[in-house]
A and B are shown apart, each in its own frame.
Chain A
Amino acid sequence: MKCRRCREPAVIDIRRHNAAFCRDCFRHHCHEQVRRAIDDFDMVEPGERILVAVSGGKDSLGLWQILRELGYDADGLYVGLGIGDYSDMSGSYAREFAAARGWPLLEVDLPGDFGFDVPTGSKAARRAPCSACGLSKRHVFNEAAIANGYGVLATGHNLDDEAAVLLGNVLRWETGYLGRQHPVLPAARGFARKVKPLVRLGERELAAYCVLADIDYIVEECPMAAGNRHLGYKEALNTIEERSPGTKAAFLFGFLERGHERFRGDAEDERADLGACRECGAPTPGDLCAFCRLRVRATGQPLPFLAEEAP
C-alpha cells in the first residue's frame, strides 16, 4: 500500500478513511483529527492549562504527547488504584514517559491518600470493579484539576470507547446517560470542564501512533476488566466494522449530530440543586458524595467529620 498523502510505502491502513499512511503522514493525520475535535467541539480556550488524566496506557500517553506537539500547555495526572502489579507497572510507564520529556506529572494514590484500593472498594460497596474504579477516578481527577487551577481536564477516551458506551446506553435506553454523552462536559460549580480530544481517533490508530512515536505504554490489560460488558460491546462493534468500515464513526457522530439533542432534557436536571459534600466539598445531591460514601464503606472507618460528631 502507498501513503495517501505522499505516496511513500505505508505502514498503517485505516479502512474507515479508505486510506493508508506512512509514518510521518500518519502523525499528521492524528494531529489533524485531534485539532479538528478540539475546534469542532470548542474543547480548549486559548491559553488554557490542560490536565491530562494518564494511566500509562496508549490512549492517555498518546493524547498527552499529541496535545504537547500541538502546542498546548498540558500536564499529566496519574492515579494509583492499588490493583497490585498492574498498578505498579502502569505507574512506571506514566512516570518514565513524563520524566523522559521533562513534563509535570501530578500523582494521587488511592490507598496512600484515601486508605483504600479499587479491589477493596469494589467488594465493600458491592460495586463492579470498573464502577468503583470509574467513580474514584472521576472524583480524584476533578478534585485535582480544580485544586491545581487547571481550566480543563482531558481524558483519553477514543472513538471506540465512545461508540461502545453509546451502544450500551442505546441497548438499555439509558436516556439520562444519552443526554450527557458528549465529547465535552461543560464546567459547572465544583466541576472542571471535561473533554475527550481523541474522539475522532480509533484505538488501533492510538496504538499505531504510540508504536511509531516510540512511546512505551502498558499493553497488558487491567486484570479487573476481563470479561466486562464494555469489552463485549467493543468486540461486537469491531466485528460489524470489519464488514462495514466506518460504522463506528457513523454511529457515534450521527448520534452527536442528530440524536444527542433529543435526550438533553433527560440529563439537564442532574447537575442542578447540588450541595457540597460535608467531608470533601465535592458537588453532591446528598450529605456525602458517592466517593466519600465508598471510602467509608471500603475503609470501615468514619470520616473525620463523622468521628467528631460521634457521642
Chain B
Amino acid sequence: MKVVLRNPRRELELPAPRTVEQLLRHLEVVPESVLVIRNDTLVTRDESLRESDVVEIRPVVSGGAA
C-alpha cells in the first residue's frame, strides 16, 4: 500500500495487511499527533489496511499559531 507522509511530503510503499495502529507503530509516529486518511476517508486505529489502499498520515500539531 502507498503511504503518504506530510511536512515534508514523502511517499512510501509498505506491505499490507496491517491495522492503522500497527502502521503508526512501525513508522514510530505517535497516534495522538496525526490523522490517518485512507482513500480520502478517515479511519480509526483498529481499521485494517489493504494492499490497494492509499493512506495519508496527516500531522495535526500546529507550531504555535492558530
Q: Does A13 sit at the interface, judged by CB under 8 A?
A: yes
Q: In the complex, identify which listed stretch (A102-110, A172-180, A229-237, A276-284) lies at the interface while the others stay far away.
A: A229-237
Q: In the complex, identify which listed stretch (A41-49, A238-246, A293-301) lies at the interface while the others stay far away.
A: A238-246
Q: Does B6 sit at the interface, judged by CB under 8 A?
A: yes
Q: Does B14 sit at the interface, judged by CB under 8 A?
A: no
In the complex formed, the residue of A with least CB distance to B20 is A13
Interface of A is mostly: helix
Given the known inter-chain contacts A207-B58, A211-B37, A219-B6, please indicate yes or no for A12 contacting B63, CB distance below 8 A. Answer: no
Q: Binary interface profile of A, 196-225, with partner B (CB < 8 Å = 1, else 0)?
A: 000000111011100110000001111001
How many interface contacts (CB-CB < 8 Å) are there between A and B? 97
Q: Do the beta carbons of B60 and A57 come within 8 Å of each other?
A: no
Q: Does A144 sit at the interface, judged by CB under 8 A?
A: no
Interface residues on B, range: 20 to 34
Q: Do the beta carbons of B42 and A225 come within 8 Å of each other?
A: no
Interface residues on A, range: 35 or more
| B32 contact from A221, A228, A230, A241, Cβ within 8 A | A241
Q: How far is the CA of A254 from the CA of B60 in the complex (A)?
A: 24
Q: How far is the CA of A59 from the CA of B12 in the complex (A)?
A: 29
Interface residues of A (CB under 8 A from B): 1, 10-13, 15, 20, 53, 55, 57-60, 130, 133-134, 137, 155-158, 160-161, 202-204, 206-208, 211-212, 219-222, 225-226, 228, 230-231, 234-235, 238-239, 241-242
Interface residues of B (CB under 8 A from A): 6-7, 30-35, 37, 41-46, 58-66
